[in-house]
Copies of this chain bind each other. A is one copy, B any other.
Amino acid sequence: MYSNIHMPKGFKCAGISVGIKSDGVKDMALILSAEPAAVAGVFTTNQVCAAPVKICREHLKHGVARAIVMNSGIANACTGSAGMVAARDMAVETAKGIGCEPQEVFVCSTGRIGPQLPLDKIVQGIETLIDAADAERVQETAEAMMTTDTRPKVSSVEVQIGGETVRIVGFAKGAGMIEPKMATMLSFITTDVAVEQKAFQAALKKAVDLSFNRITIDGDQSTNDTVLALANGATGNQALNEISDDWGLFVEALEKVCHELAMMIVHDGEGADKFVTVNVVGARSDAEADLAARSVANSLLNKTAWAGEYPNWGRVMDSVGYSQAKVDENRVSIHYDDVQAVVNGMRTDVAQEELIKVVSQSDFAININLYLGEGKATVYTCNCTEEYVRINVE
């Protein structure tokens, strides 16, 4: 699937099975940079957060990375001091293997909350991964990140910076599932361009806000959510920052990779078969537009209605109304794609069949105008099917 994609210059990767998951399913991955890379990171804001997230936050202060080492199957969350030791050991062992400082290694875990990591298996795995790492092993790496994802997720973009072709390759796993034991969003982004760390961090934060933070499947936020980005400068350009000529091009490419990965996550929402874009315009502010869009996107009443291909604009009105965004019901308009269902807070005389046609598609938009200001926001979500509940009940 991603066999034609190779890593940016100076990066290697690998994905293997070390026996955390059963049946030889891949459960460990490594991304290596030959040279120290500028690193940026964005993490879960959950107050209950996994040991590896704490380690990453600590290491990010140094701003330099040589490796990301990760496992799937066990989240290393709610594991106390033993969990912290295990996460730190993962960094230390990887650092030993490649010859760098432990704080240059970033650690991630995803999977079941509670159990301790099997450190012996992990230490062995790190050795194997270092030996196996290769610029071509993109597919295996993406596979090793998966938990209940149905497919690996990789995005690759090329862009001309200072006359050189630079590449950005990103990996992700979904927060899309509703599997009660595992639900985390992880993404690793690599590029061979040189970027100043501070500017890189700001650019990543913004790219995440525009992509991973725009998707919602179950409204829950994991203890392990992490996005890490490494820029190793292997193309030899002068390090980019906000005032560089090519800064806009780089940011655009970074945002494109994040957006593509985020869309892959929603499309892979467990049991979901409809991709729904909720656009809100005309709010008093972008923040209020965001609140209204999320309220619509997270409503279980809306999500089940979409599954039933029922154009329940009344439920959309309802969920806009109880959002924290200011709403004047007599101004609200709602379009399903370009078919107007609501004008001035009341239904139009459009035929119900026209609306059913829209929500029967596998991909449609709900476009809401609050007519109160200039604020706008978009949130991407999916429907909620019986299948989705069945997966989680079982």
Contacts and interface: CB of A to CB of B under 8 A. Distances in A.
Tier of interface size on chain A: 35 or more
A180 B385 contact: no
A350 to B, nearest CB: 12
A345 interface: yes
A377 B345 CA distance: 36
B327 A47 contact: yes
A326 to B, nearest CB: 8
Q: State the number of copies, please.
A: 2
Interface in A38-97: 45-49, 75, 77-80
A300 B300 contact: yes
A46 B321 contact: yes
Given A78-B329, A313-B114, A392 B301 contact: yes
Nearest to A77: B314
Nearest to A82: B346
A318 interface: yes
Contacts of A45: 322
Contacts of A223: 314, 317-318, 321
A308 B220 contact: no
Interface in A278-333: 299-302, 304-305, 307-308, 310, 312-315, 317-322, 326-330, 332
Interface in A321-365: 321-322, 326-330, 332, 342, 344-347
Given A78-B346, A314-B77, A314-B78, A221 B322 contact: yes
Contact of A315 (B47, B113, B307, B346): B113
A316 to B, nearest CB: 10
A388 interface: yes
Nearest to A300: B218
Contacts of A180: 301-302, 304-305, 308, 310, 312, 314-315
Given A304-B392, A312-B181, A221 B318 contact: yes
Interface in A163-222: 178, 180-181, 183, 218-222
Contacts of A344: 80
Contacts of A80: 330, 344-346
Nearest to A271: B389
B220 A318 contact: yes
A329 B385 contact: no
A186 to B, nearest CB: 15
A223 B320 CA distance: 11
Nearest to A329: B48
Interface string A111-122: 011100000000
Nearest to A299: B220
Given A180-B301, A342-B78, A346-B80, A388 B389 contact: yes
Given A180-B315, A300-B178, A301-B178, A390 B386 contact: yes
Given A47-B329, A308-B394, A329-B48, A113 B79 contact: no
Nearest to A313: B114
A300 B49 CA distance: 19
A384 interface: yes
A321 B113 contact: no
24 contacts: A47-B322, A48-B327, A75-B314, A78-B329, A80-B330, A80-B346, A114-B313, A114-B346, A180-B304, A180-B308, A180-B312, A180-B314, A181-B314, A218-B300, A220-B299, A220-B315, A220-B319, A221-B318, A221-B322, A222-B318, A223-B318, A308-B394, A384-B389, A389-B389
Interface of A: 45-49, 75, 77-80, 112-114, 178, 180-181, 183, 218-223, 299-302, 304-305, 307-308, 310, 312-315, 317-322, 326-330, 332, 342, 344-347, 384-386, 388-390, 392-394
